[in-house]
């Protein structure tokens, strides 16, 4: 009781000092008085008195911005020292209410919300934690460090993915441009000029920019795995593979390169996929994975691939992915792999044949005629192939129908080439004749 009475007396005295300094416009004196009151309550372990005094000081008439900022920053240091979780939550909520709507403590409020969301998540309330985090738009905070902003947005994306809210996760992820991770060491930090906003240093627990890059692309892999967008997943793994710390350590880049190869094979055939495929084949590190080098070369070579022999060779590798970085390739991956091999074989057939019977196509693809027709039709609908099927005759035509103008143009071109060849031949004959006549006369 004596301690409480002495504490109350000390607080009363400091409140009078704070009032005099505030009315006099003494910023330094007001800040010191406010911080001393908060510190006294903390040292006495009077958490209720601390919370009450924070509310009281924030509501005092004409309270200085600097004093509120100093008080919130000081009280935030005591959050981890609270005796129980209820007191911690109450203190965070009090500070959150005090800083709400005040632009000069927006960074502190963002950090408080992040702490509260972490507690809610630990309690199993993921949806509530995600809702709390989405209230804060850190991209508008000019004084917050770039790495801290990125870390905060990534936490928002992670919580949305955890609650299976993929639409909001995509919207939040677009706030981060991949170019922000391109570190240019040659550029030195510019000294802020007078009048510029001073950017705060990021807290010690915030990861570096390259670590954030890895986190960002891992979250993007989780998002794209939901829609089975294999090409985008491959590009995300490619970005992780290009991180210098990953390239130096074989234990890190080998599983990543394996994933790149698998997702390249699983991705539908298009110009971007072809470009990535050829770029990966030129990578010197691929020589460490001979099986995957063989697999990619099979796709580049215009030859029919036997699905059964290929699956026997790579089934063990496919199953082994579960134990490596990123986990298994997905439930549909095995079916999609077979689908890609069939599509590759159809493209090969279309390169070598202009007309072919459907029965022969089915034999080459090791499928029934109905399945071969279905796969052909799907590729035509997806505009990956030009083909027409004459079902009564059972013939597939891979040539595009030409109109009369194109045919006439091709004929005129052929005639021009023929006349050029005749003219060149006549010239050569005449030249040889003249040479021989000169030789005979001599």
Query: What pLDDT is recorded for position 275?
Result: 87
Q: What's residue 195's pLDDT?
A: 45
Within-domain flag for 120: no
Question: Does one domain contain both 237 and 358?
Answer: no
Q: For the chain, first and last CA: distance in Å?
A: 139
Please check whether residues 324 and 305 belong to one and the same domain.
yes
Tokens of 247: 């390239």
Q: What are phi and psi of 274, to 5 degrees?
A: -65, -40
CB atoms within 10 A of CB 93: 13
Helix-helix angle 250-266:333-352, to 10 degrees = 60
In a shared domain, residues 214 and 343: yes
Task: Give the whole-number percent of the chain exceeding pLDDT 70.
Answer: 93
Asked whether residue 359 falls in the same domain as residue 347, the answer is: no
pLDDT at 196: 46
| Tens-place pLDDT, residues 372-408 | 888 888 888 888 788 888 888 888 887 766 677 777 8
Confirm if 300 and 281 have CB atoms less than 8 A apart: yes
Number of domains composing the chain: 4
Q: Domain check: are 224 and 309 in the same one?
A: yes
If asked whether residues 255 and 388 sit together in one domain, one would say no
Q: Tokens at residue 335, please? A: 């079916």
The verdict on 220 and 325 lying in the same domain is yes
Average pLDDT over residues 113-140: 83
Q: Do 442 and 384 fall within a single domain?
A: no
The band of 190, judged by pLDDT with boundaries at 50, 70 and 90, is low
Among 68, 100, 132, residue at a domain's last position:
100
**3-state SS, one letter per residue, for 103-144:** HHHHHHHHHHHHHHHHHHHHCCCHHHHHHHHHCCCHHHCCCC
Q: Give mean pLDDT, residues 85-92.
A: 84
The single residue listed with the structure tokens 């911080």 is: 35
| Residue 46, token pair as written in the block | 């009077």
Which of 17-26, 216-225, 371-380 holds the top average pLDDT?
A: 216-225
- Range of 22's domain? 1-100
Q: Is the pLDDT of residue 424 over 90?
A: yes
Residue 111 domain flag: no
Is 224 inside any structural domain? Answer: yes
User: What is the average per-residue pLDDT within 72-83?
Assistant: 81
pLDDT greater than 50 at residue 185:
no
CB contact at 8 A, 136 and 96: no
Domain identity same for 343 and 368: no
Q: Residue 345 CB: number of other CB atoms within 10 A?
A: 22
Residue 92 makes CB contacts below 8 A (sequence gap 6+) with 79, 112, 115, 116, 119
Q: Is residue 432 part of a domain?
A: yes
State which of 58, 84, 100 marks the end of a domain.
Answer: 100
Task: Decide if pLDDT at 213 tops 50.
Answer: yes
Tell me what pLDDT residue 2 has: 45
Domain membership of residue 156 (yes or no) is no
pLDDT digits (tens, 9 = 90+) for 47-66: 888 888 888 878 878 778 88
Beta carbons within 8 Å of 193's beta carbon, 6+ residues apart:
none
Q: How far apart are CA 148 and CA 239, in angstroms?
A: 21
pLDDT of residue 3: 56
Is the pLDDT at 322 greater than 90? The verdict is: no
If asked whether residues 340 and 386 sit together in one domain, one would say no
Q: What are the pLDDT digits (tens) for 222-277?
A: 898 888 888 888 888 888 888 888 888 888 888 888 888 888 888 888 888 888 88
321 and 382 fall within a common domain: no
Highest mean pLDDT out of 43-57, 164-178, 316-330, 378-392: 164-178
User: Given a cut of 60, is residue 189 above it in pLDDT?
Assistant: no
Asked which of 388-392, 400-404, 418-422, 435-439 is least confident by mean pLDDT, the reply is 400-404
Listed as own residue / partner, the contacts of 50-54 with beta carbons closer than 8 Å and 24 or more positions apart are 50/75, 50/78, 50/91, 51/90, 51/91, 51/94, 53/11, 54/94, 54/95, 54/98
Q: Where are the alpha helices (DSSP H) in 249-391?
A: 250-266, 271-281, 290-300, 307-320, 333-352, 358-365, 369-381
Identify whether residues 82 and 47 lie together within a single domain: yes
């Amino acid at each position: 009781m004596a301690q409480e009475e002495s504490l109350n007396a000390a607080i009363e005295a400091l409140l009078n000092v704070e009032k005099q300094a505030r009315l006099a416009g003494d910023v330094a004196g007001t800040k010191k008085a406010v911080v001393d009151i908060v510190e006294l309550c903390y040292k006495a372990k009077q958490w209720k008195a601390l919370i009450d005094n924070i509310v009281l000081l924030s509501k005092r008439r004409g309270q200085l911005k600097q004093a509120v900022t100093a008080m919130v920053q000081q009280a935030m240091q005591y959050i981890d020292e609270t005796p129980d979780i209820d007191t911690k939550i109450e203190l965070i909520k009090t500070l959150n209410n005090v800083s709400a709507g005040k632009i000069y403590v927006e960074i502190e409020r963002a950090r408080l919300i992040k702490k509260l969301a972490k507690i809610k998540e630990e309690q199993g309330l993921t949806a509530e934690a995600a809702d709390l985090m989405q209230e804060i738009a850190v991209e508008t905070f000019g004084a917050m460090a770039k790495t801290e902003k990125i870390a905060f947005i990534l936490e928002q994306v992670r919580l949305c993915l955890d609650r299976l809210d993929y639409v909001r996760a995509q919207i939040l992820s677009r706030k981060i441009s991949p170019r922000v991770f391109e570190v240019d060491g040659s550029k030195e930090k510019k000294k802020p000029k007078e009048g510029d906003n001073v950017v705060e240093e990021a807290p010690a627990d915030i990861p570096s920019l390259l670590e954030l890059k890895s986190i960002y692309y891992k979250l993007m892999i989780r998002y794209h795995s939901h829609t089975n967008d294999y090409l985008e997943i491959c590009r995300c793994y490619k970005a992780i593979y290009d991180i210098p710390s990953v390239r130096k350590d074989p234990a890190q880049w080998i599983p990543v390169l394996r994933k790149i190869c698998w997702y390249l094979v699983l991705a539908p055939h298009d110009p971007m996929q072809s470009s990535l495929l050829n770029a990966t084949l030129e990578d010197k590190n691929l020589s460490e994975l001979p099986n995957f080098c063989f697999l990619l070369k099979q796709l580049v070579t215009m030859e029919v691939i036997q699905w059964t022999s290929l699956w026997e060779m790579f089934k063990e590798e496919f199953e082994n992915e579960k134990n490596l970085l990123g986990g298994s390739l997905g439930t549909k991956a095995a079916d999609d792999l077979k689908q890609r091999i069939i599509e590759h074989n159809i493209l090969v057939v279309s390169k070598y044949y202009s007309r072919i019977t459907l029965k022969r196509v089915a034999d080459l693809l090791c499928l029934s005629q109905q399945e071969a027709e279905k796969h052909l039709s799907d590729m035509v609908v997806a505009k990956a192939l030009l083909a027409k099927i004459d079902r009564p005759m059972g013939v597939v035509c891979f040539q595009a129908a030409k109109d009369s103008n194109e045919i006439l143009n091709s004929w005129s071109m052929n005639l021009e080439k023929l006349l050029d060849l005749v003219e060149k031949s006549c010239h050569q004959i005449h030249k040889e004749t003249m040479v021989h006549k000169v030789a005979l006369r001599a």
